[in-house]
Structures are given as structure tokens and as C-alpha cells.
């Protein structure tokens, strides 16, 4: 390779590598933004569901239905007798 063609070839190679790095980083950034947007949508759906459940809990007066739903849908169980802590001692 002649000395006078080395510098332009090096600059072209440097330009191509820089372009590849820019495109790759931009692709990664867009993918992370997409993932973040999806997670935010899921979070907002959970907040909406939580708000609806809180409203239902406030308006519902049948405690047996609340307990049945907590056991069936949420898998909740009552505390064991050794988990109770006395108050006021």
C-alpha cells in the first residue's frame, strides 16, 4: 500500500466503524425504550387494578366474600397463632 493511500483508507475504515457503533447503540437505545414503555404500561395496569380493588374493598360490606376472594384469587391465608403479637404489654 502506498503511503499516500494509507491515510484515506484509514479514515474510511474509521468512518465505517464509527457509523456501525452509532447504529448499534441507537438500536440498543430504541430496544431499551420499547422495553421501558412496555413495563410502564404494565405498571399502570397494575395501578388501575389496585385502585379498582381498593374501591371495591371500601364499598363492599360482605366480609365473607372479601375473605373468600383473598383466599381463592390471591392465595392469602390467615395468620398462624404464633404470628400474633400482643399489643399494650
User: What does the pLDDT look like over 29-81, one tens digit per residue?
Assistant: 999 999 999 999 999 999 999 998 888 777 876 778 878 888 888 888 777 77
Q: Are 40 and 46 in contact (CB under 8 A)?
A: no
Structure confidence at residue 47 (pLDDT): 94
Q: Is the pTM of this model over 0.75?
A: no
Structure confidence at residue 75 (pLDDT): 83
Question: Does 84 score more than 70 pLDDT?
Answer: yes
C-alpha cell at 16: 465505517
Q: Are 58 and 67 in contact (CB under 8 A)?
A: no
Taking the C-alpha atoms of residue 32 and residue 26, their distance in angstroms, rounded to an integer, is 10
Amino acid at each position: 500500500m502506498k503511503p499516500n493511500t494509507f491515510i484515506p483508507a484509514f479514515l474510511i475504515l474509521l468512518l465505517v466503524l464509527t457509523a456501525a457503533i452509532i447504529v448499534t447503540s441507537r438500536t440498543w437505545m430504541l430496544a431499551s425504550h420499547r422495553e421501558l414503555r412496555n413495563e410502564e404500561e404494565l405498571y399502570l395496569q397494575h395501578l388501575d387494578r389496585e385502585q379498582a380493588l381498593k374501591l371495591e374493598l371500601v364499598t363492599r360490606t360482605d366480609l365473607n366474600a372479601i375473605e373468600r376472594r383473598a383466599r381463592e384469587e390471591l392465595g392469602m391465608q390467615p395468620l398462624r397463632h404464633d404470628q400474633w403479637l400482643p399489643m399494650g404489654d
